[in-house]
Amino acid sequence: MTSLGRRVYGRVSIQLVRESREPHHGTASTRRPGPDRRCPGPRPHGHERLLRRHRRDRVPGHHRPGAGAGRHPAVEYSLFERGIEHDGVLDTLKELGIGLVAYSPLGRGFLSGAITSPADFTEDDWRRTDPRFQGENFDRNLDVVREVRRIAAEKNITPGQLALAWVQRQGAVAIPGTKRRRSLEENVAATEVTLTGADLAAIEAVAPHGAVAGDRYAPEHMGTLGG
């Protein structure tokens, strides 16, 4: 982590990661992702059992919501991946007072606005195999990004900052990955963005749950996906 990252780590609500070392820790890594086995499967009851056990065993002061300072589950969460809002995970976290760490908060880079064509990926970039970055899915998802960019422009911020501010507004701690100091500084600035009720409504109108085309991962990974 850069010196800037160390300075802001303790005082900002978004934890910034300079370079991803594991596939589930950010959007900048070009390594092929693997399933996140630290989180439960897609069944709501399974999620709730694990989270309740997590609360009991790992978080001191589990009898009082928000009392613990232990480890928190990391789950993919962004405007491009909102499944936890509908499978019981987010509700259970809130009920038990467990914090959420959101990895890939920029939709694996899509929401940064920097990706405009599949040709933007290097030959060894695993996102070439990501269904959301292929064919018609890419075009449909790029349309969503354009709308996010439009809303961001009205607030004089970048689409990435809008996406990170949205995650923060949901009460999650985002861990966007980056290898560039300029991107790190942009991500830090997102913590100062305030989203109004009208902003949230506008975002919801263009990027609701289900708006993104394509599965999260290629078929060979979906069967063991956990978080």
CATH of the domain at 188: 3.20.20.100
- For residue 13, what are the domain limits? 3-222
Q: What mean pLDDT comes out for the span 196-222?
A: 89
Is 32 a member of any domain? Answer: yes
- Evaluate whether residue 190 is within a structural domain: yes
Section 70-93 average pLDDT: 88
26 in a structural domain:
yes
Q: How many CB atoms lie within 10 A of CB 189?
A: 16
d(CA 155, CA 216): 29
Query: What's the pLDDT at 71?
Result: 65
pLDDT confidence of residue 3: 36
Give exposure, 118-135, as e/b (b: 16+ Cβ within 10 Å). Answer: eeebeeebbbeebbbbbe
Domains of the chain: total: 1
| Tokens 């820790």 sit on residue | 25
Residues 111-162 pLDDT 10s: 999 999 988 988 888 898 899 999 999 999 999 999 999 999 999 999 999 9
pTM: predicted TM-score of the whole model, two decimal places: 0.69
Q: Where are the alpha helices (DSSP H) in 119-208?
A: 135-154, 159-169, 181-189, 197-206
Q: Look at residue 61 and tell me if it is in a domain.
A: yes
227 within a domain of the structure (yes/no): no
Tell me what pLDDT residue 223 has: 61
User: Residue 104: inside a domain, yes or no?
Assistant: yes
Query: Is residue 125 a part of any domain in this protein?
Result: yes
148 is a domain residue: yes
Kindly report, residue by residue over 22-66, the tens digit of the pLDDT: 343 334 333 334 443 333 434 444 455 555 555 554 443 333 333
Average pLDDT over residues 90-103: 90
